[in-house]
Structure formats: structure tokens, C-alpha cells
A and B are shown apart, each in its own frame.
Chain A
Amino acid sequence: MRAGDTIPELSVDAATMEHIVRWSAAIDDYTPIHFDPEAAAARGMDGPVVNGPWKAALLARMLESWLDGRGTVARLDCRYRKPDLVGAALTFGGAVTAVTAAAGHDVVECDVWVAGAGGRTVTGSATVHMRPAHDGESDTLATERLKSAVRLGQELGRFTYEVTAGDIARFRAAVGDPGPDTVAPVTFYAALDPVERRDILPDAEVLDEIPYARTGGGNAFNEVEYERPIRAGDVITVVTTYTDVYERDGGSGRLLFRVRTNDLLDAAGDLVARTRMGHVMAYDLKRRARA
């Protein structure tokens, strides 16, 4: 995929009155310039004109055909430069202008256009997210794309949090574990996890696109090993790395596991604790998702 690649064109032999009537019904709008010659003439047109947004919808369809299920149209921007008369033969086309790699997909910028009798009547641009051509067969839950999205095996991100006595006191009060607010309880590391805190959501887009009904899930396991307790006043940098992403069949459906480790470092860069967080999501492959 390179700048300059052309997108396969879509041709409409004639933008017919049937298209117009069906579109009017689909959008529940019956503005007469699209089907009434007198109304069109009164507005200065040579005849009934094709709706701009219908042409945009066909550009979107052209992009979807090109994607062939391997991605999504993230943005479409059209300018309706000249009207097309009902009955016109129209060609919908485009070309790639830039490709940038992102986690799990390419971000492809394109120019798009509609050509009618007298040249380009619509010009515009689009952004599509396109996945590579091969998707694993045993990959019902998009595991390969997830691995890419979370940069499996590599440091995903680092986040720095200040631990205050107030945070510790609030945590102790919430779990009902009285004690000094200078030393954090054993599970306090959970409050410093960038993924639980939604400070980092690398796989949200991939997970959103899994088409199956989610039947359950949550944390599967949590482990911590401490070099020393976490204390009030610590400035902890959490380094998150996903170590495992896999799927298998389970009692409650198809299970997707994601395991990450967090290294908790103090201000001097010394290891305070290392944690392992395992998360599981269950899907019913016989039911489609509701978003």
C-alpha cells in the first residue's frame, strides 16, 4: 500500500430516479429538486439533481469494497462542487495519498472524487484504517491484531504516579483495612495500574470490532512480588508490558486472555514491586455483539 495507489473505481451507469426515490425514502426527505423538474428549474438547475450525500454514500461504499472487510472508514470529507443531473453516468474513484503504520493497522489517507459528464463534480478525502491481508485462521477473536495493538513483549508505556498518605488512607478505608497511612496495603498496587485506570487503552479499537456477544470476563488473576512496601511519598513509575495474548475454548464460551506485567520503579529507578495481571473475556461465538 503506497501513496499513488489507485482505489478500484465504482461505476454507476446512470444515477436513476429509482436511486433518488430509494434514497429519499432511506433518509426520509423528499426535497423536490431531486425528482421534480419544475422545482429544480425554479432553483436554477437544468433538471432534477442527484443528492450530494448520496454520492458521498457511494464513495463510502467504494472504500468499503476496497477494504473488503479488512478495516473501517474513519473519515470521509466531500465537497459538492457541481450538481449532477439525474440520469448521469457517474464514476467514483480515489487514490492513496499517505500511509502511516499504527498499532494493528495502517492509517491510509486518500483523495476521493466523483466524475460526471463535465469532470469532477465531487472532490474530497478519506481516512481508512486497513489491516494486513492475512488474518490468522484460528484467530476468531482478532488475537493477532490484539498482539500488535498491545505491542506484545515490548514496553507498552510508562506512567508516573505520586503516592500520597491521602491515597493510602482512602484505600485503607475503602477496603476496611485500618493501619498507618504511611505504608500501603499489599494490594495497593492495583491503584497504580495504568490499564485499570484507563490511562492506557491500546486495544480498545480492536476489542470494539470483535463481532461476538460478550458473555463475561474480568480479572483472572493478580500477582505481586515486593522488594519493599510502597510508602507515602513514593513517586512510582509503572512500566507496562503485555506478555501473553491467547484465546481458547472455555466453559462460558470462547475465552480471550491478556496478561501484562507492571514493573513499579521508585524515583531512583529501583524496583519496588513487580505485578502480573491476567484478564479474561468470554464471547459467545453463536451470537453477534451489541455495541
Chain B
Amino acid sequence: MRDVEVGDRLPALVKVVTTEQLVRYAGAANDYARIHYDHAHARERGFAGVIVHGLLKAAFLSQLVTQWCGPDARVRRFAVQYRRNDFPAQPITCHGRVTARSAGSVELELWTENPERQVTTKGTATVEFGPDA
């Protein structure tokens, strides 16, 4: 990680969510809000269909970070804001960029894009590196 520079892009991560995954996530996170698995309910609320949990997209962005920084680093801070909804069966592309660095830590800007290249989630993270990183 000595070679990390401000402006570096993280290798993009592409995720496609199935409705089964939405159900698994509901169980794993104990979040049973119906907007994520009940199509009739989602349509009643004005959506084309069920929407992806914001925190599932956050999980994707955190995976983007941890895959990049490796096991010797620790995510100290991780924050996301949800701008637009994402839907199953459509690729969600996770991006990141280094915005600052110091001796032991790096600041990242993160975002997800939908197939129309619109930003659906924005986030930031602070990653701290061990002495060997």
C-alpha cells in the first residue's frame, strides 16, 4: 500500500442482485421490510418492483474496499448515503477513488452506478493500514 496515491481508482466491482439474494439478505440482516421482497407492495408504493436494500449496496461498497485493501488493513470509518433505488437483475457497479492519504491511513470516495450510469449511492471510507502494509 506504499504505492497508493491520491486519485488512484479501485478496481470496479459489479454485482447483480437476484430476488433470492434479497430474501437471503433479509434473513441474514433481520430486515424484513416488504419493499424488498413483496412485489405487490412495492408497486403500490410506486416502484416498478422490489428494490435492493440500501445496506446491501453498502455491503457491496465495503467489499469493494476490503478486496482492494487486503487483510492487513482495517476499515475504520464507512459511511453511505442512498441517492436512488436499485433493482434486482440489473448490474450495480461499485467504484472507488483515493481522495487523501497519510502515513497509516487512506481516505476513499465510493459510489455505485446503475446501468444508466446514474449514481445511486455515495459514500466515504477511512482505511487504516498495519505496519506491514
Contact = CB atoms under 8 A, between A and B. Distances in A.
Interface of A: 167, 170-171, 173-177, 179, 185-187, 190-191, 196-198, 214-216, 218-226, 229
B48 interface: no
A190 B79 contact: no
A196 B24 CA distance: 15
Contact of A218 (B32, B54, B60, B80): B54
A107 B76 CA distance: 45
A218 B35 contact: yes
B46 A170 contact: no
Given A177-B62, A190-B55, A224-B77, 16 more contacts: A170-B28, A171-B28, A176-B60, A177-B66, A179-B66, A185-B66, A191-B28, A191-B29, A215-B45, A219-B55, A219-B82, A221-B80, A221-B81, A222-B55, A224-B78, A225-B77
Given A176-B15, A196-B31, A215-B46, A221 B60 contact: no
Interface residues of B, number: 36
A216 B30 contact: no
A256 to B, nearest CB: 16
21 contacts: A171-B28, A173-B28, A174-B56, A175-B25, A176-B21, A176-B60, A176-B63, A177-B63, A186-B59, A186-B62, A186-B66, A190-B29, A190-B31, A190-B55, A191-B28, A196-B30, A218-B51, A218-B54, A219-B53, A219-B55, A229-B74
A223 B55 contact: no
B1 interface: no
Interface centre among B15, B25, B33, B85 (most CB of A within 10 A): B25
Given A174-B21, A185-B63, A221-B80, A197 B54 contact: no
Contact of A174 (B25, B66, B79): B25
A182 to B, nearest CB: 12
A223 B31 CA distance: 17
Secondary structure class of chain A's binding surface, majority of residues: mixed
Contacts of A197: 30-31
Contacts of A216: 45-46
A186 B65 contact: yes
B75 interface: yes
B58 interface: yes
List the 10 closest A-B pairs by CB distance, nearest first.
Answer: A186-B62, A223-B79, A174-B28, A175-B59, A174-B24, A197-B30, A219-B54, A221-B81, A177-B63, A187-B59
Contacts of A175: 25, 28, 56, 59-60, 63
B131 interface: no
Contact of A226 (B31, B33, B76): B76
Contact of A222 (B24, B32, B58): B58
A187 B78 contact: yes
B27 interface: yes
Contacts of A226: 74-77
Contacts of A187: 55, 58-59, 62, 78
Contacts of B62: 177, 185-187
A218 B54 CA distance: 8
Contacts of A179: 66
Contacts of A176: 15, 21, 60, 63
B129 to A, nearest CB: 15
Nearest to A186: B62
Contacts of B66: 177, 179, 185-186
Given A170-B27, A170-B28, A196-B31, A177 B59 contact: yes
A214 B85 CA distance: 17
Contacts of A223: 77-80
Contacts of B79: 221-224
A185 B66 CA distance: 9
Contacts of A167: 28
